[in-house]
Amino acid sequence: MTLNIIFVILYFIFAPLLGGLFAGLDRVVSARMQGRVGPPVFQPFYDVFKLLGKQNFTVNRFHSYYLVCYLLFAVLNGAQLYLACLFNADDILFVIFTLTLADIFLVMAAYSAGSPYSFIGAERELFQMLVAEPLLLITAFGFYMATKSFDVVKIYSADHMLFLSLPGIFIGFVFVLTIKFRKSPFDLATSHHAHQELVKGLTTEFSGPTLALFEIAHWFEVVMLLGIVFLFFASSPLLGLIITVLTYFATILIDNTYARFKLHLTFEVAWIATLILGGGNLMVLYFLKLVNG
Exposure of 1 by Cβ count < 10 A (0-12 exposed, 13-18 middle, 19+ buried)?
A: exposed
Which pLDDT tens digit goes with each residue over 219-228?
Answer: 999 999 999 9
Give mean pLDDT in consecutive 10-residue pieces for the chain, a chain of 293 residues: 67 89 91 86 92 81 85 82 58 86 90 83 88 91 90 86 93 91 82 59 83 90 92 92 94 86 86 90 87 72
At residue 7, the pLDDT reads 72
At residue 114, the pLDDT reads 77
DSSP string over 170-187: HHHHHHHHHHHTT-TTS-
Q: How many alpha carbons fall within 13 Å on the CB side of residue 3?
A: 2
Among 115, 221, 113, 233, residue whose Cα is nearest residue 165: 233
Q: How many residues does the chain have?
A: 293
At residue 156, the pLDDT reads 86
At residue 4, the pLDDT reads 60
Residues 6+ apart with CB under 8 A from 106: 66, 67, 70, 125, 202, 214, 217
Write down the domain spans for the chain: 2-291
Q: What share of the chain is helix, strand, coil (3-state, %, to 5)?
A: 75, 0, 25
Q: What is the pTM of this model?
A: 0.89
Partner residues linked to 91 by β-bridges: 151
